[in-house]
Amino acid sequence: MEVAPGLYQLKVPMPGPLEYVLAYLFPSDGGYTLVDPGWPSDEAFDALESQLRDIGVAFADIRRLIITHVHHDHYGLAARVKEASGAEVLLHESDWEAVQPYLDDPVAAVREMQGFLATHGVPREEIANMPVAGQMVRDIIMRARPDRTLRGGEVIEGKAFRWEVIWTPGHSAGHVCLYERERQLLLSGDHVLPVITPHLSYTGRPGSDPLGDFLRSLEALKPLAVRAVFPAHEFAFDNLRERIEQIELHHLARMREMLDALVSGPLTAYEVAHHVTWVTGDFRDFDFAMQGAAVRETLAHLEHGVITGHIVRELSDGLYRYRLAQGAAEQIT
């Protein structure tokens, strides 16, 4: 579907409630650039090929793949598309750095993540059943290593477009958006979605602050003149600033909820996650994958609270517990 003159939106199916990834295609460099090819499956590959054919494009015409971030539903199909087209792959350097442990030794990386979750209160019997990235990440990325890494600030030229790369960390360390200043268009990836909020995951990397990064990245987009936002899920929308403010309020409310949970005393992240109002249901009813994601998102908020001085992290008996700093509840506005 042509969503703006020369810009095509392609629906690439994926498992789960989101149903599909929205990929974007535009002409450039004697061929085409494809943004976020989609989930790694035969169904996704066939659907992408069919939609390209409908607009008169073959895989051989694709010269460049831009990956907004390294998650499976965006990067996953890059290997097959690259093999079919010979296209160069562009990914932000921070995401490339983040996946290195899984490329070097995926088994060790998985064990490290399991140990990390255990120190934050997740029961050992649950950890054994929690799927974490490992061999699948390695197989996909080894076949589609980035030919160029991005830093933010680059310009991607197209026949009718001049896309500015904006580094927007938070959902991943290297997430990027693409901004067309003259036409006032934004390809927002997962950074800003019209209904849901992207998952934020703290994985224990020293000094990392995914929630803080995310909020600062949202602020960076506010001054942009944008008449249409094309995200990687759900649907296009035009109220960027209003949507950013809604997302900011959502995370403020979630932080308040976690602070309220800590009023009774120190808790592990796993225990705090039980007190959060998750839009997808009750934590106790989540499957192991959802529980793992919820704990890592809880940690993103708790660790941001540590960095801002509202929360104190303490280690005892091999477990990290979080407690309120003095006067913290009154400081959050």
135 vs 102, 139, 141, 253, CA distance in Å?
Answer: 7, 6, 10, 36
Q: Distance between CA 263 and CA 266 in Å, rounded?
A: 8
User: Taking 90 as the threshold, does the pLDDT of residue 124 lie above it?
Assistant: no
Q: Residue 118 is inside which H or E element, if any?
A: helix 106-119
* Fold for the domain defined by 2-245: Metallo-beta-lactamase; Chain A (3.60.15)
Average model confidence (pLDDT) across the chain: 93
| pLDDT at 206 > cutoff 50 | yes
More confident residue, 225 or 134: 225
DSSP-derived letter for residue 325 is P
Q: Which residues of 177-199 are buried (b: 16+ CB within 10 A; e: fewer)?
A: bbbbeebebbbbbbbbbbebbbb
CATH of segment(s) 258-331 = 1.10.10.10
- Rounded Cα gap, residues 46 and 48, in angstroms: 5
Q: How far is CA 249 from the centre of its chain?
A: 19
Q: What is the DSSP string of 15-41?
A: SSTT-EEEEEEEEETTEEEEE----SS
**Cβ contacts of 247 within 8 Å, gap of 6 or more:** 192, 197, 218
pLDDT over threshold 50, residue 82: yes
User: In this predicted structure, what is the pLDDT of residue 102?
Assistant: 79
Helix orientation angle between 135-143 and 78-85, rounded to the nearest 10 degrees: 20
Distance between CA 182 and CA 161 in Å, rounded? Answer: 8
Distance CA 72, CA 47 (A): 17
Q: Check if the beta carbon of residue 258 is closer than 8 Å to that of residue 308.
A: no
Q: What is the pLDDT averaged over residues 15-31? A: 94
The answer, yes or no, to whether residue 125 has pLDDT greater than 90, is: no
* Mean pLDDT on 203-213: 93
Q: What is the pLDDT of residue 75?
A: 94
Check if the beta carbon of residue 283 is closer than 8 Å to that of residue 276: yes
Q: Tokens 């360390």 sit at which residue?
A: 173
**Res. 250: pLDDT tops 70:** yes
Q: What is residue 131's predicted lDDT score, i.e. its pLDDT?
A: 63
- Average pLDDT value for residue range 21-25: 98
Mean pLDDT of 232-261: 98
The top-scoring range by mean pLDDT among 109-113, 141-145, 283-287, 296-300 is 296-300
Instruction: Choose between 245 and 280: higher pLDDT.
Output: 245
* pLDDT (0 to 100) of residue 107: 79
* Least reliable range by pLDDT among 130-139, 214-223, 306-315: 130-139
Q: Sorting pLDDT into bands at 50, 70 and 90, what band is 307?
A: very high
**The pair of three-digit structure tokens given for residue 275, joined into one six-digit string:** 């007190």
pLDDT at 92: 98
Give dist(CA 167, CA 255) in Å, integer. 25
Which of 203, 149, 136 lies closest to 172 in space, CA to CA? 203
- CA 239 to the chain's CA centroid: 21
pLDDT over 70, % of the chain: 95
Given a cut of 50, is residue 333 above it in pLDDT?
no
Domain ranges in the chain are 2-245, 258-331
What is the percent of the chain where pLDDT is above 90? 80
Residue 288, pLDDT score:
84
